[in-house]
Structure 1
Amino acid sequence: VAQSRVLIFILTDTILDSEWCIKELLAAEKNDLDIIMLVKDGSRWPDATSARNDPFPSAALLQEKLPKELLPLFSRKAVHHNDEYYQTFADLLMDKIGKGIAASHAKEATHAAQVEQAGSESTGGPKASSWH
């Protein structure tokens, strides 16, 4: 995850029960990755009656299953996978991935400039940076 620029978190019926998936999501959040929430077509989560009727996990379910630092991620607009309108889905997903990669490049450029500035200030002149 630390080497990635974008994480696509696919929300399936059981993903919130997967300790490893939650750990990956937490690592992505801690590494400031762009995270795309993707709801798999047909996925359902328990509603107030415990029947699997909700098309998105409820706030109560998210609070029960996730560390609190991940909760804000689920307030973002998710991409919904849809076999019937696959091309529209694919176009939207690719657009979000492109924006995530662009944001990652911008973060890297900002960090490189900060490292360069810090080096110049401490030595009185330009300093080579090892940031790629």
Structure 2
Amino acid sequence: MIGHRMIGALLALYPRAWRDRYGEEYRALLEDTGLRPAVVGNVLLHAGLVRTQQHRTALLRFGALIVFAMAEALALAAGYTENILWLPREPASLVLLAVAVVSLAVVVVPLAAGMGRMAIRAVRR
């Protein structure tokens, strides 16, 4: 009885669409395999990966935004520049500038592309 509850709890970690598609087969696999610690750990890891994949783009953008903020904060704290977009003179500040530019591009370019696609669709209608 506890095994069935545990399997149900483990399956609940997966998104509904995934459970609808694979849930019964996965439940049978877990019942046949048994709930050893390694199996439970594997299920927890896989469920987390499936959930993360659903939001991969948003997570990547958020991560890039964090990197950009850290690069800006480091540049300001080190006194390299008061504006990260001004060309710095020291080699270390050039590295921070490169990190900031790349991370900002990861955030801004997809947003700009998405807005461009929305504008094109609006014009075509």
TM over 0.5: no
What TM-score results when the alignment is normalised by the length of structure 2? 0.34
Between structures 1 and 2, the one with greater helix share = 2
What TM-score, normalized to structure 1? Answer: 0.32
Q: Which has the larger radius of gyration?
A: 2
Higher strand share: 1
